Structure 1
Amino acid sequence: MSELNLVEAVNRALAYELEHDPSVVLLGEDIGANGGVFRATLGLQERFGTERIVDTPLAETALAGTAIGMASMGLRPVVEIQFSGFIYPAIDHILNHAARLRHRTRARLTCPLVIRSPCGAGIHAPEHHSESPEALFAHMPGLRVVMPSSPERAYGLLLAAIRDPDPVVFLEPTRLYRLYKQPVEDDGTAAPLDTCFTLREGTDVTLVSWGAMIHEVQMSADVLAAEGVEAEIIDVATLKPLDMETIVASVAKTGRCVIVHEAPRTCGLGAEIAANLAERGLYSLLAPIERVTGYDVVVPLFRLEAQYMPSVARIVSAVRKTLEAST
């Protein structure tokens, strides 16, 4: 067992699958000799060769289309898009071909494709480098959408995504790449897809989040615990399909829910979770659901970035509001 940060855990998962499955191929811009813009593929081309770690032109549309063709013919391509803000030219292929191939061919063909991309704010990057487009992909039928919140989770979920017979958009929170390390067992054990993870048990409020925001949510829970408030933390992890059973069961226990994400508020995934709770868990709620989110603007550059992102103070304030509403 090694102490790994998130980008190292991604590298280990890719190396494990490359070693154990000859159909796995990596494609992307500068992923070979340079190891990718964040060095997630560092050393893999030297180890596995240029036929399996393929540097591509700066052309996301062509990259996605090529990978879909490879996947339909029996390979398992893993594509790296340098930043989530660069993924939009590939959406034509992702939505119209990758996500529909099983349906279009009545399961005669499948598309075991993983598209990896860094996402999210918090690293003081320029425009197009700080986006959180998970709700966009979650709206597309035929796709799985996954976002890990820790090195251990990144390792296990990426293994599961590569082994999945259908396309997966795997969004990696840039801010977590080197934020901290934790023990990760490099034994090839995949984490389950399509399920939430309960990171902390509590009785007073359910905090629902995913990706980098789990870090702020955990700090908020510590602040609340010092005030005598026990928060339960749900890491959604697989954003599509959404495991509402775990969330509904948690809210049935706590009676309150605060949903946290850094993507813009309008039509964010938090709205979908809140709608599901209104349909399936309304009578469990002791207070209105609160959402703590990014704002409906492009992520501002540098000085205002911290004001855009949900903070511990905003999360704790939302929890206090739910507690006051139910007293």
Structure 2
Amino acid sequence: MAQMNMLQAINQALHQAMSNDERVLVFGEDVGHFGGVFRATAKLQETFGKDRCFNTPLTEQGIVGFANGLAAQGMRPVAEIQFADYIFPAFDQIVNETAKFRYRSGNEFDVGGLTIRTPYGGGIAGGHYHSQSPEAYFTGTPGLKVVIPRDPYQAKGLLLASIRDDNPVIFMEPKRLYRASVGEVPEEDYELPLSKAELIREGSDITLVGWGAQLELILKAAERAAKQGIQCEVIDLRTLLPWDVDSVAASVEKTGRLLISHEAPLTGGFAGEIAATIGDRCFLYLESPIARVCGLDTPYPLALEQEHMANEHKIYEAIVASVQF
């Protein structure tokens, strides 16, 4: 075990994936010579050469289109989109090509070896073009997997599993935690299961569900609630598509209450899908309406970033309201 921040864990995962499989290539904007804007790919080009880690032109559509072609020929490309805010020019390639390759060919060919890495979310004073959380746009697209880690240990294990999975994966990294989140990480190669949520705190009064950087805020709110005698069960979804319905439903059947929190705006956010599914599945167990604590329905602001975010105080107040309903 070694102490690592999330960037170091991701970098080590990429090193190990490339060492163990020569089909793994890493490319994107500025990833080669100095390791990308966040240094997540540092020393990969130095170690594996310019044929396996290289810069691309500033064209996200071209990056993903190129990655689709490589994956269709049996390679395992790891394509970096520098910020999740920049992924929209590649939306057509991802939704209409990446996600549908296998289906349209009757499983004769696919791009299952493709992983798209991209940093998402706010909390770094990045303003409206460097702070968005666009995960929900992709959760309505059958054929993709959407994976979001919450800490260094999860980031390494989930990234290695994503690169080796036989389906295209969008791997979204909470950039606010790149250097802020530090923890014990095994130095050896390991994988964590995709599409399996993790129960990270047991409780009896309410179930709290989130992913990525939001888990830090959810856990702080749960600690505060515990001082008031409210025992919160906390679940990290980890994979949003396909998500672990059974684990969330089992928890809600126990606690009778559900609160979902994410950084993206409320309207159209993935919390709505979770609420609808659990409402169908667990209606007779619910003691209060399902609560959602999310970002505001505005473009991501710079000066009012803290007001926009679904912080621990908003989550705590929603916990109390749900329990006292």
Report the Cα offset of residue 126 of structure 1: 3.1
| Structure 2 partner of 1:62 | 62
Deviations 1:204-229 (A, max 9, x none): 11000001100001111111111111
Write the mapping of 1:32-47 to structure 2, written as runs, cut at 5 A.
32-47=32-47
Moved >6 Å (runs of 4+)? none
Indicate conservation of the 8 Å contact 1:116/1:170, yes or no: yes
Offset at residue 122 of structure 1 (A): 0.4
2:163 is aligned to 162
Matched-pair contact (CA < 8 Å) for 1:78–1:115: yes
What displacement does 1:127 show? 2.5
TM (norm. structure 2) is 0.98
Residue 130 (structure 2) pairs with residue 96 (structure 1): no
Shift of 1:242: 1.1
Read off the aligned partner of 1:37 and give its amino acid letter. V
Distance 2:187 2:284 in 1: 44
Cross-structure match for 2:245: 244
Q: Which runs of 5+ in 1 are unaligned?
A: none
Residues 234-263 of structure 1: CA distance to partner in whole angstroms, max 9, x if unpaired? 000000001110000000111111110010
User: What is the TM-score with the length of structure 1 in the denominator?
Assistant: 0.98
Alpha-carbon shift at residue 34 of structure 1 (Å):
1.4
Deviations 1:48-83 (A, max 9, x none): 110000111111111111110000001000000000
| SS in structure 2 at match of 1:313 | helix
Aligned positions, number:
324
CA deviations 1:20-67 (Å, max 9, x no partner) are: 001000010100111011110011110111000011111111111111
In structure 2, what is the equivalent of residue 274 of structure 1? 275
The match for 1:18 is: 18
Whether the 8 Å contact between 1:264 and 1:296 is mirrored in structure 2 is yes
Once the two structures are superposed, the pairs formed by residues 130-149 of structure 1 within 5 Å of their partners are 130-149=131-150
Counterpart CA distance in 1 for 2:308 and 2:144 is: 29
AA matched with 1:257? L
Aligned residue for 2:50, secondary structure, equals coil
Partner letter of residue 54 of structure 2?
V
Kept in 2, the 8 Å contact 1:146–1:171? The answer is yes
Query: What is the CA–CA distance in structure 1 between the aligned matches of 2:31 and 2:281, rounded to whole Å?
Result: 44
Measure the CA separation in 2 of the matches of 1:96 and 1:292: 31
Distance (Å, rounded) in 1 between the aligned partners of 2:321 and 2:227:
17
- Give runs of aligned pairs for residues 117-266 of structure 1, distance below 5 A: 117-266=118-267
Measured against aligned partners, the alpha-carbon deviations of 1:105-128 in whole angstroms (never above 9, x if no partner) come to: 111112110000000010001321
SS for the counterpart of 2:128 is coil
* Cα separation, 1, equivalents of 2:222 and 2:128: 31
Distance apart, 1:189 and its partner CA = 1.1
SS in 2 for 1:299: coil
Alpha-carbon distance, 1:196 to partner? 0.6
What's the offset of the Cα at 1:186? 2.3
Contact 1:196 1:246 in 2 (8 A): yes
Query: What is the CA–CA distance in structure 2 between the aligned matches of 1:225 and 1:126, rounded to whole Å?
Result: 34
8 Å contact from structure 1 (residues 84, 128) kept in 2: no
Query: Which residue of 2 is the match for residue 75 of structure 1?
Result: 75
Query: Match for residue 49 of structure 1?
Result: 49
Q: 1:230 & 1:279 partners in 2: Cα distance?
A: 24
Instruction: Give 1:315's aligned amino acid.
Output: I
- Tell me how large the CA RMSD over aligned residues is: 0.7
Equivalent pair of 1:13/1:186 in contact (CA under 8 Å): no
Query: What is the DSSP-based 3-state SS (H/G/I as helix, E as strand, rest coil) of the residue aligned with 2:247?
Result: helix
Residue number in structure 2 paired with 1:321: 321
Aligned-partner residue type, residue 313 of structure 2:
A
